[in-house]
Amino acid sequence: MGYYDEISEGYEELHKEEQLKKVALILSKIKISPKDTLLDVGCGTGLYLDMFRCNVTGADPAPKLIRKYKGKHKILLARAEELPFPDNSFDIVTSITAIQNFEDVEKGLNEIKRVGKRRFVLSILKRSPKLSLIEKLIKEIFLVNETIEEDKDVIFFCTKK
């Protein structure tokens, strides 16, 4: 069982408030139309998915976390490194405090780029030892239009190069 499955019972109690704050900040920065399709990679329990007012899909490899989701959107069991979608499937792809957990960050970021049409929001835990590697890869793979530092994460607002 993976770490996130192990802590699935307490995950929302531990992290809900801070994650909702990050998503509120993201929503203040991007325009989402109800017709947009959005994929959230590493969505965990999906605690903020209903805040995105469009056609949302979540993906996460921890079965116990995704079982906690009781909202109206679809969540499927998948790793960032192998996203089960054709190229250019989603108007927006987000990944919130999850990239530092990918086994293969470069592969995961390239998959995110492949399945997204144009817009990407990538939020990374600042205290992750992988932060500078992830930042370097994001700048290589995407065009970074804006970077925001909040309490716990750095958030990259990107488009396709």
Is 57 a residue that touches ligand SAM (CB under 6 A)? no
Binding residues for ligand SAM restricted to 101-160, rule: CB under 6 A: 101-103, 108
Q: Is 83 in the site for ligand SAM (CB under 6 A)?
A: no
CB atoms near residue 34 (< 10 Å) = 7
* Residues linked to residue 129 through DSSP beta bridges, in sequence order: none
State the greatest distance between any 2 C-alpha atoms of the chain, in Å, as a whole number: 40
Among 38, 42, 90, 155, which residue sits at the site for ligand SAM (rule: CB under 6 A)? 42
With CB under 6 A as the contact rule, the residue among 36, 52, 56, 61 that binds ligand SAM is: 61
| Residue 88 and residue 117 in contact, taking contact as beta carbons nearer than 8 Å | yes
Radius of gyration over every alpha carbon of the chain, rounded to an integer in angstroms: 14
Asked if 26 touches ligand SAM (CB under 6 A), the answer is no
Question: From CA 83, how far away is CA 59, in angstroms rounded?
Answer: 8
Q: Which is nearer to ligand SAM, 10 or 35 (CB)?
A: 10
Instruction: Find residue 143's DSSP bridge partners.
Output: 159
Give contact residues for ligand SAM (rule: CB under 6 A): 4, 15, 19, 41-44, 47, 60-62, 65, 79-81, 96-98, 101-103, 108
